[in-house]
Amino acid sequence: MNSSSASTAITPSTKVRLKLSLKKRLVFGTVLAGIVVLACELISWAGLHLADKVFSMPRLRFKQQQIAEGVGVSDGASESFHPYLGWVHNPELVRPEEYSGGDIPVNWLGFKDDSESVCHRADDTFIVGIAGGSVAWGFSWEAQNVLREKLSAHPALKGRRIQFIRMALPGYKQPQQLMAYNFLLTLGAEFDLIVNMDGYNETVLAIRDNAQSNTAISYPRGWHSRVVSVSDPRSSADAARLLYLRGKRQQMARSILASRFRWSATCNLVWNIRDEFASGELTDLGISVSKSKRHSFTTHGPTNRFSGPELEPEVTAMWKRCSRQMHNLCKANGTLYLHVLQPNQYVPNSKPMGTAERLVCYSEEEGSAVFVRSMFPRLQELGRALEAEGVEFSDQTMVFATVEQPLYVDCWCHFNAEGHRLLGAAIADRLLTMLDKATVERAINRN
């Protein structure tokens, strides 16, 4: 063996050193990989917190489960078409909603209510139906204590339980309140009092969501975009895209829930980014469909016969006709009826607003202000005409006129619990007057 061969020969000691070196490299590589994974996890964890300021893993997991079950794949995914009411919520999909300190279920008829909707008169119960949109629905929960307290003090109701029935749902506008009342009557429901609170949806949404998209003003808000998945063949591409995006979000949520790496912040961040993109595509599609000027009887209903200067008078006249019919139905069924015109921050001088409240809750650019200022005076005038016909009407647009503390919570028409309490106290006073009148009338009739 020559000298060069001897120098390169692998001796036992060399083998040991190589093995040790290999082990060191393996350990080093493992530690380095662990550091990289840990760094990625920490960065992803921070990314999840940036994406959701109130992030928690249970909250994220709940969102994924909702999407996987189909409830959260798009706005309105929990809604179910209804042959008379336009839509209700699907009790098979929706979990109880946390609101006003409690968990509110969807009942068997699809209303967000803890009652059965169909109740019968009893000597120990006074049944109050609340009709309208989101303001009325929120009012039914936030103002129920003040209503119960004041109504229970009336001699005619002492010892009786006040039972609220919510026939209101966010987004409802006339004639949905009228149809909801009719529908419950057909199922055998009985009421002692109906409070119908509305005004904003009937004016702003009837024009902005319907008329401006060539959808019948008498149809539920944005009906053309709600029924895109069952539209006529001319809209098949939009319908297919809608179903694809919903299915994509659902499949991605199911995949992350079934993954062995579902604990990983990095995997969850990747899922969240992909889901946000799909959600954004759904939003863009909804905006595109909503702004479409294409008219189809299947999706848009009958062509609006009124336009230009005739549109606003017809929208408000429909509101008046619906209220009159609700009054007539109530009268025929021995039920008291009160129509309340809801407050709105765009009614001039209706509430003093500080800088903070105005910044969040008042926006000329949002688009509601111009319709409220134009059409609420019409509603007030028609409300006085309803009163002249014998309909109990209460204009509550100025109920916050002297309240400086913040009450509104957004730039549309919604207010906080204190706003509902103040409105509830004002309405309760009117209801007490109505009960006094009804008591006197019954006494006269008995004699």
Alpha-helical (H) ranges within 153-292 are 176-186, 200, 223-226, 236-258, 265-291
Task: Give the pLDDT score at 344.
Answer: 98
Q: Are residues 323 and 411 in the same domain?
A: yes
Residues 419 and 330 in one domain: yes
Mean pLDDT of 372-392: 98
**Residue bearing tokens 């709600």:** 226
Is residue 288 a part of any domain in this protein?
A: no
Return the H-helix or E-strand segment holding 151.
Answer: helix 144-152
- pLDDT, mean of residues 260-280: 88
Per-residue pLDDT band at 351 (split at 50, 70, 90): very high
- 77 within domain boundaries: no
Residues 427, 428, 429: CA angle, nearest 5 degrees: 90
Does 392 fall in a domain? yes
Categorise residue 87: left if φ over 0, alpha if ψ from -120 to 50, beta otherwise: beta
| Same domain assignment for residues 120 and 208 | yes
Higher confidence at residue 101 or residue 315? 315
How many domains are contained in the chain? 2
Asked, for residue 232, whether it belongs to a domain, the answer is: no
pLDDT given at position 171: 95
Q: Is the same domain home to 40 and 164?
A: no
The C-alpha atoms of residue 304 and residue 292 are separated, in whole angstroms, by 16
Token pair recorded at residue 104: 């509110």
Kindly list the strands in the beta sheet with 125-132, ordered across the sheet, starting from the edge strand earlier in the chain.
161-166, 125-132, 193-198, 336-341, 393-395
Q: Which amino acid is at 442?
A: R
Quick one: average pLDDT of 50-59?
81
Question: For position 67, what pLDDT does the model report?
Answer: 83
Mean of all residue pLDDT scores within the chain: 89
Residue 159 and residue 41 share a domain: no
Q: Any idea what DSSP says for residue 73?
A: S
Same domain for 426 and 327 = yes
Same domain, 18 and 134: no
Could you tell me which residue, 69 or 74, shows the higher pLDDT? 69
Same-domain status, 29 and 150:
no
* Burial tier of 372 (Cβ tally within 10 Å: 0-12, 13-18, 19+): buried
Give the pLDDT band of residue 30 (cuts 50, 70, 90). confident
Do 356 and 440 have their domain in common? yes
Angle of helix 134-142 relative to helix 144-152, nearest 10 degrees, comes to: 60
320 with 436, same domain: the answer is: yes
The predicted pLDDT at position 63 comes to 84
- In contact, 90 and 80? CB cutoff 8 Å: yes
Give me the pLDDT at residue 154, please.
Answer: 96
320-342: pLDDT as tens digits:
999 999 999 999 999 999 999 99
Which band of pLDDT confidence, cut at 50, 70 and 90, is reported for residue 38? confident
For the ranges 8-12, 79-83, 145-149, 244-248, the lowest mean pLDDT is seen at: 8-12
Query: Which CATH number goes with the domain that contains 192?
Result: 3.40.50.1110
Return all residues near 394 (Cβ < 8 A) that are at least 6 apart. 338, 339, 340, 341, 426, 427, 430
- Encode pLDDT of 279-307 as tens digits: 888 878 777 766 666 678 888 899 988 98
pLDDT digits (tens, 9 = 90+) for 178-187: 999 999 999 9
Determine the average pLDDT of the residues in 36-42.
Answer: 84
pLDDT at 69: 80
Q: Is residue 253 part of a domain?
A: no
Q: Which domain holds residue 146?
A: 116-221+311-446
Determine the residue type at 232.
D
pLDDT surpassing 70 at residue 383: yes
Residue 341 lies in a domain: yes
Asked whether residue 130 is domain-assigned, the answer is yes
* 216 and 323 share one domain: yes
Using CA atoms, how far apart are residues 99 and 103, in angstroms rounded to an integer? 6
* DSSP conformational letter for 230: G
Are 195 and 327 a contacting pair, CB within 8 Å?
A: no
- Does 312 score more than 60 pLDDT? yes
CB 333 within 8 A of CB 191: yes
pLDDT at 224 over 80: yes
Q: 47 and 120: one domain?
A: no
Q: Residue 121 to residues 118, 193, 417, 435, 446: CA-CA distances in angstroms?
A: 10, 11, 30, 17, 20
In angstroms, how far is the first alpha carbon of the chain from the final one?
136
What does the buried/exposed string (b/e) look like for 172-194 if buried means 16 or more CB atoms within 10 Å of the residue's CB? bbbbbbbbbbebbbeeebbbbbb
Q: Summarize the confidence of residues 27-33 as an average pLDDT.
A: 78
